[in-house]
């Protein structure tokens, strides 16, 4: 899969998330063991915009970090061969989260994530969310690989 992208169907085959919590629309580039670049098309129809904030809709920072984590989850699934294994990638920690620009309806949010550390059941990532090439948010986060709940 080196250097190739994934459409929404392929994204959904790799993540358990579904609307309204699926926050990756397409993968532009994925190099297993290294990095991923994906996108989230932010529209006014997102359910969170009804309350955050009605007069000035802004995507909540925690959802930007979640989108980055989902992109990193796809990277982990591809790198570790987890698709169809029954294993899930679970968030464990968020560190050094910074928010630089508001993400508003009509934006195409580019999600970039790369491995910082990879072990059998725990992975660390660095993620950056970009708007037109400028940093909107960034964070480091840790995830664990575990069985799906029964």
Distance, in Å, from the CA atom of 9 to the CA atom of 11, rounded to the nearest integer, reads: 5
Name which of 105, 44, 97 is nearest 69 in CA terms: 97
Largest Cα–Cα separation, the chain: 46
- Please list the active-site residues: 52
Contact 46, 66 (CB under 8 A): no
38 and 23 in contact (C-beta within 8 Å)? no
Strand, helix or coil for residue 114: strand
Ramachandran region, residue 74 (left: φ > 0; alpha: ψ -120 to 50; beta: rest):
alpha
Give the count of beta carbons closer than 10 Å to the beta carbon of residue 40: 25
């Amino acid at each position: 899969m080196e250097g190739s992208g994934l459409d929404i169907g392929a994204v959904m085959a790799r993540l358990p998330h579904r609307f309204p919590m699926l926050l990756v629309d397409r993968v532009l580039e994925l190099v297993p063991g290294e990095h991923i670049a994906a996108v989230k098309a932010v529209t006014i129809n997102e359910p969170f915009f009804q309350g955050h904030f009605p007069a000035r809709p802004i995507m909540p920072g925690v959802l930007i970090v979640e989108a980055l984590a989902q992109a990193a989850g796809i990277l982990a699934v591809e790198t570790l061969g987890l698709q169809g294994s029954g294993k899930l990638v679970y968030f464990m920690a968020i560190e050094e989260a910074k928010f630089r620009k508001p993400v508003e309806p009509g934006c195409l949010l580019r999600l970039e994530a790369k491995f910082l550390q990879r072990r059998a059941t725990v992975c660390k990532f660095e993620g950056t969310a970009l708007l037109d090439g400028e940093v909107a948010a960034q964070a480091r986060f840790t995830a664990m690989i575990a069985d799906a709940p029964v």
